[in-house]
Amino acid sequence: MDSVVSLRGVRRTFGRVVALDRVDLDIPTGAVGLLGPNGAGKSTLLKILLGLLRPTDGDASVLGIDPVKDPTEARRRVGYMPEVDAYVTGRTGVELVALAGVLCGLPRAAAMQRAHSVLNYVGLEEVRYRKVEEYSTGMRQRVRLAQALVHDPALLFLDEPTNGLDPSGRDEILEVIRDLATKHGKHVVLCSHLLRDVEYTCARVVVLVAGRVVRQGTLDEVRSGRRDLYRVGFRGPAEAFAAALAAEGCSVNAGEGALQVGVPPGAGADPVLRAAVASGTDLRSVVPDAMSLEDAFVAAVDGAG
């Protein structure tokens, strides 16, 4: 599989704080979610890929370009939507996006034409002549996306694109991102701590915790990453059954009419059966359980901790 981003042993420290710890990663084509809790190193990773930060150690490449050696070329090829507000005061939406186009190398007239086109696409055509500082949070998010798209890059780095949006605003932005990835062949690296955003837009996920990649793969692979998880239906006293499961070394999460039981790796369903016998519980069902992305994420974070 072709990769758009490649990292080999990338490490970045800020004083004593290790933001990225020898990351080896290949981000394939298509839409990929970069998941992680706050402080996991997601934004640091993006800034290294954009050449805004130098790695303390290791090598990185973006679309075959080394962002340390040629940071401007890397940024020319990539569309970057930053996490924070990024606008020039006193400029209207269309002027701002056109300026982004000019800075990316578009001729002035073409940049203005293109600015109108992408602002239409992100749904800002009605307000494009208003100053950006007068925009609502949702409009500012969209204008940031428009800036990232103005030079029609093959690869988009979107850092927390739905931050601060209401549910409908979030759905609209996610819809645009999915449209770009699925219909228009854009490669997207979506950096987020919101699992639903990643689940909705991305085919693959990379989970970053404390500066390390702890899990990666397709959504299905990540969800089913733990094959030692069972959903157990039963009849009888739950407390006694849970205690017996714990004695077998299993983890237990209570669900509605069922328990989600994590068994020791490689043990299969045997510990569940032994616990049922020991506690005198009638089993109704023992089904391998696919995790939600949230479960997988929590498991990954817990595992990393």
1-26 burial, b for 16+ CB within 10 Å, e for fewer?
A: eebbbbbeebbbeeeeebbbeebebe
CB of 265 to another protein, least distance (A): 38
Nearer to another protein, 148 or 244 (CB): 148
Nearer to another protein, 11 or 76 (CB): 76
CB of 132 to another protein, least distance (A): 9
Nearer to another protein, 163 or 253 (CB): 163
List of residues contacting another protein (CB under 8 A): 14-17, 47, 50, 52-53, 71-73, 75-76, 80, 82, 84-91, 96, 99-100, 102-107, 110, 114, 117-118, 120-123, 125, 133, 142, 147, 149-152, 172, 175-176, 179-180, 183-184
CB of 252 to another protein, least distance (A): 39
Nearer to another protein, 154 or 247 (CB): 154
* Sequential DSSP letters for 89-112: TT-BHHHHHHHHHHHTT--HHHHH
CA–CA distance, 152 with 138 (Å, rounded to integer): 22
CB of 26 to another protein, least distance (A): 24
Nearer to another protein, 44 or 279 (CB): 44
CB of 57 to another protein, least distance (A): 17
Nearer to another protein, 5 or 205 (CB): 5
Please count the other Cβ atoms lying within 10 Å of the Cβ belonging to residue 267. Answer: 14
CA–CA distance, 208 with 186 (Å, rounded to integer): 23
Residue 235 CB contacts under 8 Å (≥ 6 apart), including other chains:
281, 282, 284
CB of 224 to another protein, least distance (A): 31
Segment holding 271, helix H or strand E: helix 270-279
Please say whether the beta carbons of 207 and 222 come within 8 A.
yes
* Sequential DSSP letters for 208-241: EETTEEEEEEEHHHHHT--TTEEEEEEES-HHHH
